[in-house]
Structure 1
Amino acid sequence: MQKQRKLVILGDSAFAEVAYECFTHDSDYEVVGFSVESAHLKRDELFGLPVVPFEDLEKHFQPGEVDFYAALVYSQLNRLRTRLYQEAKSRGYRAASYVSTRAFVWHNVQLGEHCFIFEDNTVQPFVRIGDNVVLWSGNHIGHHSTVEDHCFVASHAVISGFCTVGRSSFLGVNVALANNISIGADNWIGPGLTISADTEPGQLFKGESPAASKVSTKRFFRLKED
């Protein structure tokens, strides 16, 4: 695939390494470097490319010449990825997205910016995906459903038709949502759970029971109120 654009990846973790592989071998982006906040900078090179302080990004990669992708997972209930995405945009950089050529995304899907859609995802007609969303491998996003901004959906989740996944939520491996379900903002739904009724904002579901924990996600993750 011919390389037409340049990309800096924010982060140097395992996701950053995977993002490098995907952008390099399955997109028109050429990865030219990595960037990490100086407090977490532990190396100056990855895959033969420079790893530079995020605070000094403009000294190495100019806005308008290089796009970015913040390759971070669901840390702090997606807040870390969201913060770096928003800060890089505010500094004039353009957000990149990756959609695997091995994913099935119907032609009328509305896809926001700064999204990462791995292989074997099925995204059906009339779906809307917000900004800064990660769909890891093998998920099913049913027709007329919405995944709002800043969400992370782990592998092999099933979101049935006419569902809404609220802003900044996390769905674990093998989660299943029944038809016509609304998941509140800031929900954490642990692996293997089936949700068959609407949830409230800030609910935490873990273990083997689909009942919400008495502890809210904001308390569990020690998040400040928005």
Structure 2
Amino acid sequence: MKSNKVIIFGVLDTAELAYYYLTNDSDYEVIAFTLTKDYIDKVEFCGLPVVAFEDLESLFPPENYLLFCPMTAKKMNTLREKIYLEGKKKGYKFATYISSKATIFNNEIGENCFILEDNTIQPFTKIGNNVVLWSGNHIGHHGEIKDHVFFTSHVVMSGHCIIESHCFFGVNATIRDYSTIGKGTLIAMGACLTKQSTEEWSVYAGNPAKRLGEKKSYDLY
């Protein structure tokens, strides 16, 4: 019997995927789903109860259950950050899922991370809290990914990179070695970043990647 009981936040595709991964490829047992009251329009999801986030502590006390919040990167990860921090205030510890088909090397990885199959995380790179690595990314050695970051798929992050919080990386983006990616940077799909730093809350696209004027990442995604 699985001993780590988890409540998943959300009832959309990402929550359904999280339920599948946790059920079939982890030691976690999903007990229920949760959502803020205003958004609840069903009583069950994946055959499990859907309960109000506002009432969660009384139904599933934080000393007995973990919370998992595998939300998307909308509003540059700030929506996922908000729920994560509210869960922390309620006293919950968070699950982290690392696919059995990912390659890791005793990396330091925080809580509420969702790391899917075919990610390679090389030695001496640290990953913070509330980070999503979708499938198939290369995360280079001696780097750091800070909190509330989202990598889509097939992103190459070369060695010795620092990724500040709230960044987003589109499919097939490439980041050169020794780069520092400023807080809230959006690296567009297929972009090749040859510079070694970016401006906070900025957008970079193209090959080589260039900043898109004064556009702010949180206004676009």
TM-score bucket of the superposed structures, by smaller chain: over 0.9
Structure-2 separation of matches of 1:64 and 1:105? 29
Answer yes or no: is the 8 Å Cα contact 2:194–2:208 preserved in 1.
Answer: no
Instruction: Tell me what 2:126 maps to.
Output: 128
**Cα drift, residue 218 of structure 1:** 3.8
Answer yes or no: is the 8 Å Cα contact 2:25–2:100 preserved in 1.
Answer: yes
Structure-2 separation of matches of 1:209 and 1:95? 38
**Cα drift, residue 206 of structure 1:** 4.1
Whether 1:174 aligns to 2:172 is yes
Instruction: Tell me what 2:8 maps to.
Output: 9
Question: Residue type matched to 2:171 in 1?
Answer: V
Query: How many residues are matched?
Result: 219
**Cα drift, residue 207 of structure 1:** 6.2
Instruction: Tell me what 1:33 maps to.
Output: 32
Question: Residue type matched to 1:180 in 2?
Answer: Y
1:16-70 CA-to-partner distances (Å, cap 9, x unmatched) read 0000001111111110000011121121101110011111112321111110101
Distance 1:125 1:208, change over 3 A: closer
CA RMSD, 1 decimal: 1.3
Structure-1 separation of matches of 2:218 and 2:27? 38
Question: Residue type matched to 1:95 in 2?
Answer: F
Structure-2 separation of matches of 1:177 and 1:208? 11
Instruction: Tell me what 1:101 maps to.
Output: 100
Instruction: Tell me what 1:78 maps to.
Output: 77
Structure-2 separation of matches of 1:218 and 1:209? 22
Question: Residue type matched to 1:213 in 2?
Answer: L
3-state SS of 1:105 partner: coil
Whether 1:195 aligns to 2:209 is no
Identical columns (%): 40
Q: Extract unaligned runs of 5+ from structure 1.
A: 222-226
Instruction: Tell me what 2:217 maps to.
Output: 217
Q: Normalising to structure 1: TM-score of the pair?
A: 0.93
Question: Residue type matched to 2:151 in 1?
Answer: V
Q: Extract unaligned runs of 5+ from structure 2.
A: none
Structure-2 separation of matches of 1:16 and 1:193? 28
Distance 1:101 1:196, change over 3 A: same
3-state SS of 1:23 partner: helix
Q: Normalising to structure 2: TM-score of the pair?
A: 0.95
Answer yes or no: is the 8 Å Cα contact 2:193–2:207 preserved in 1.
Answer: no
1:87-110 CA-to-partner distances (Å, cap 9, x unmatched) read 111101111100111100112x11
Corresponding residue to 1:140 among 138, 146, 151: 138
Instruction: Tell me what 1:119 maps to.
Output: 117
Structure-1 separation of matches of 2:125 and 2:205? 27
